[in-house]
Structure 1
């Protein structure tokens, strides 16, 4: 679940409460989840980037005999290391370091399955499709994020004038990229462009498309070449990231299925979400999609505009409140 949109798209809801140190590799998707949880809990996240020493990079973090020696020294705010300070670790590498910090007396919340003894953390926050359980485990239907109603309202005020030239209904398209589970290369880019083009031609929709930094240059070029002549706006990866604006201003959203984070942020809006399939397979994403399909929150994209009654689906705020309750945060 490390795939998401760039860090400059991570929303800031203006939290200015106690500091929470975020123990994570400097990846956009991880920061999006950890920062989103912290801010929704009224905390101010500060990244404590994890940089692994070369000799340890080829060994799973859960096997490190001494995690704090396997990384370059962390820059941790002093307030995080004494009660009621809090650190949030995420992923396997962050989790190994977080567990070591807790053994030294810190209070640590782990995001995602750490693939080690869950008792090494004060709390573990995971998704239902991670298939873990325990007395200190909180489960969410979607990935954690900071796309709150207030965040969307601010983005709508900023981006609605910029997108006003596009026809309505406006379909926002969120494009990810290939990973170890799904393929999004030239062939898949052509297939997606053809489907989106048919939607414009048959349903008369306006369209705004934002690639991610994982989207290959070839796929970006294919989408622009096929869809710009039809009136679609395709972000050229220059200037301000439009991701939040496209979420906020859409009448419907199409999102590729490679990223739990992107889909989770899309279903936090008030509009229908259609998921574009890609070649590949993932048991975890399959379980995640099954939950959303059964809830009626998403449908699979078939090249046509679909509209149905939906409500936002976002567990992040409830998880953040329960975290504060469990940890006794004032």
Structure 2
């Protein structure tokens, strides 16, 4: 696939380091054909409390040598997370608009926060510079899946099909794994393994200890695979070899990554939720991608769904227009 922007284009990823926000930004920058460079911001209280509306932490001002936004400024910034909003605003002021800015997810300060803003279809934000797609951008590509299938991990190939990738998140702003949720998910996974499915699981940094222990026990009982946290996360390898995927609903990003495989996605919803997430999951249910996880296999393969390249293409078009306009001015 040809690069969408010249390889000489410099690009920063600007987040506070949260895995979900960073993955979205890296996925977009890589889809543009560029090498992303993470600039991690870490505002202290009270400046962190004031985000996204307040100023940046003065300790991270561009004039400070150790600032995450010290010049020279890049051609492009792709940012995500409310803590990044004041830093995007500051860079736009410092560069007088020369640096093109793209913001992933609703910044809560309006579409004018950046030159272009991406939000999922279920979001209410609108504007001439707002991109909407069904799925969240991510780093899972057909090439990466093909490479993982061509050179699979031995620990996974020893498992008999059907192989089920179990992608477990954790507590979030909208969801909580209560004891009843943990017991329910464990029971359903036990039932799935008892039907002959092989489980391949990976956990999240957000996974609470009780849920971690329960999933570990399920995998141990079934003789499946659980990433132990050592070395590189075999997330892509699990996606590539999965015949079906079980995903917890606390991460719409993981659901989107699972949808890139073309394999049925069985979703477990813990306590809580949000109407936007419900809308998102229902849209994927209507497409035949997502099914409720009830302890057994469900669904059939489908054409993989991925919005990353579409988002990157729109950003590239806007970037070129931005550059042309500045050149002509």
Q: TM-score, normalised on structure 1?
A: 0.87
What is the 5 A alignment of 1:192-203?
A: 192-202=185-195
Aligned to 1:139: 132
* Correspondent of 1:321 among 313, 323, 328: 313
Equivalent in the alignment of 2:327: none
Query: What CA RMSD, in Å, does the superposition of the two structures yield over aligned residues?
Result: 2.1
Task: Name the CA distance, whole Å, in 2 between partners of 1:61 and 1:190.
Answer: 38
Alignment-derived partner of residue 251 in structure 1: 243
**Candidates 272, 295, 298, aligned match of 1:280:** 272
User: How far is the alpha carbon of 1:161 from its aligned partner?
Assistant: 2.9
Residue-by-residue CA offset, 1:77-103 (whole Å, 9 max, x unaligned): 75644xxx1111212121221122113
Q: Confirm whether residue 102 of structure 1 aligns to residue 92 of structure 2.
A: yes
**Which residue in the other structure is 1:225 paired with?**
217
Change (3 A) 1:230 1:237: same
Structure 1 residue 236, shift from structure 2 partner: 2.4
Which residue is 1:4 aligned to?
A: none
Deviations 1:182-202 (A, max 9, x none): 122443222111101111213
Residues 269, 312 of structure 1: 8 Å contact kept? yes
CA distance in 1, matches of 2:142, 2:186: 31
| Match runs of 1:15-26 below 5 Å | 18-26=9-17
Alpha-carbon distance between aligned partners in 1 of 2:272 and 2:289, rounded to the nearest angstrom: 22
> What is residue 3 of structure 1 aligned with on the other side?
none
The CA deviation string for residues 307-329 of structure 1, in whole angstroms up to 9 with x for no partner, is 41311111111111121112118
The match for 1:174 is 167
Comparing 151-160 with 208-217, greater Cα deviation is found at: 151-160
- Structure-2 separation of matches of 1:205 and 1:184: 24
Question: Residues 20 and 46 of structure 1 are in contact (CA less than 8 Å); yes or no, is this contact kept in structure 2?
Answer: yes
Question: 1 CA distance for matches of 2:7 and 2:148?
Answer: 20
Cα deviation, residue 266, structure 1: 0.5
Contact 1:211 1:220 in 2 (8 A): yes
- Corresponding residue number in structure 2 for 1:9: none
**Equivalence for 2:326:** none
Question: What is the distance in 1 between the residues matched to 2:163 and 2:78?
Answer: 37
1:298 corresponding residue in structure 2: 290
Per-residue CA shift, 1:132-163, capped at 9, x if unaligned? 11111111211111101011122333434331
Label 1:311 to 1:45 Cα distance change in 2 as closer, same or farther (>3 A).
same
For residues 58 and 173 of structure 1, what CA distance do their matches in structure 2 show?
35
Quick one: distance in 2 between partners of 1:207 and 1:125? 34
Decide whether the 8 Å contact of 1:193 with 1:227 is kept in 2: no
* Residue in structure 2 matched with residue 260 of structure 1 by the alignment: 252
Structure 2 Cα separation of the partners of residues 239 and 120 of structure 1: 38
TM-score by length of 2: 0.88
Structure 2 unaligned runs (5+)? 1-5, 324-329
- In the alignment, which of 207, 212, 232 is matched to residue 199 of structure 2? 207
Match status 1:69 vs 2:22: no
Counterpart for residue 270 of structure 1: 262
1:15-56 CA-to-partner distances (Å, cap 9, x unmatched) read 965221112111111110101100101111111111203332
- Partner of 2:314, secondary structure, is helix
The aligned length equals 310
Residues 159/189 of structure 1: CA separation in 2 closer, same or farther (3 Å cut): farther
Q: Hey, what's the Cα distance between the residues in 1 that align with 2:274 and 2:60?
A: 30
Partner of 2:48: 57
Q: Is the 8 A contact 1:96 1:114 kept in 2?
A: no
The answer on whether the counterparts of 2:27 and 2:137 sit within 8 Å (CA) in structure 1 is yes
For residues 301 and 240 of structure 2, the distance between their equivalents in structure 1, rounded to whole angstroms, comes to: 17
Aligned to 1:46: 37
Secondary structure of 2:263 counterpart: coil
